[in-house]
Amino acid sequence: MRRADRLFQIVQLIRGRRLTTAKWLAQRLEVSERTVYRDVADLQYQGVPIEGEAGVGYRLGEGFDLPPLVFTPQEAQALVVMTRVAQQWLDPALARSSESALSRVLSVLPADQRHAAQHIPVYSPPWGLTAEQQPHLQLWRESTQGLHKLALVYNDAQARTSERTVWPLGSFFWGAVWTLVAWCEKRQAFRSFRLDRIQTMTGLADTFKLSDGQRLMDYLRQQGVDPQALAEGR
């Protein structure tokens, strides 16, 4: 990677995160931490408002913007593949949004790169979520973001049916199955539910307020998962 490209990538990576360490940047860019320190110092000298310091982390100051993004052919192809997967495994609203975003990316590519991206031979067959599961996944995501309670009728692995009022916290995709994590009012504990075992899901007007020990990060730590590593895909 040319140094000019690396400097551009550093700004992009810092801009997309709340706080970014030199160690993380070095791993992503496949360079040494010393190189990252030198590059950040050069960017700061050139007037890029990168705040923070070595050993703590960096963030980009407000009001700074870059020219429109330029995608490599490989990045464009990756977006095409991800959109194809999204059509089968995401809820309808996110699937439509991913397709819209991809259209805008493809529209600014040169014709040969656009053709190569659109014809990459990697597909996701139409055997993903059922027509019943898609709206459930969307309602779960929207209720998680809006802090609204949900009423579930659920079949467990032994085919026993139960009714639950839950506080939705997050969704996890395992390649063929979605599991939905929540705080369960009935059990007063975290519970996970397989999307394909939910009979009915009803949005409630009641909202919830999480306390310490009830948040998604608390659940992840109980499972021995580092929340930051999960967010970064590590």
Would you list the domain boundaries of the chain?
A: 3-60, 73-118, 133-231
Starting at the edge strand found earlier in the chain, the sheet holding 189-194 runs: 189-194, 178-184, 161-173, 148-155, 198-207
What are the two backbone dihedrals, phi and then psi, of residue 132, each rounded to the nearest 5 degrees? -80, -35
Residues 62-106 have pLDDT tens digits of 767 655 566 788 888 998 999 989 888 999 899 888 888 888 778
Specify burial of residue 30 (Cβ count, 10 A radius: 0-12, 13-18, 19+).
exposed
**Percent of the chain at pLDDT above 70?**
94
First to last CA, the chain: 23
Look at residue 232 in the predicted model and tell me its pLDDT. Answer: 63
Closest CA to 1 of 74, 100, 59: 74
Tokens of 126: 């139409």
CATH class (in words) of the domain with range 3-60: mainly alpha
H/E stretch holding 146:
helix 133-146
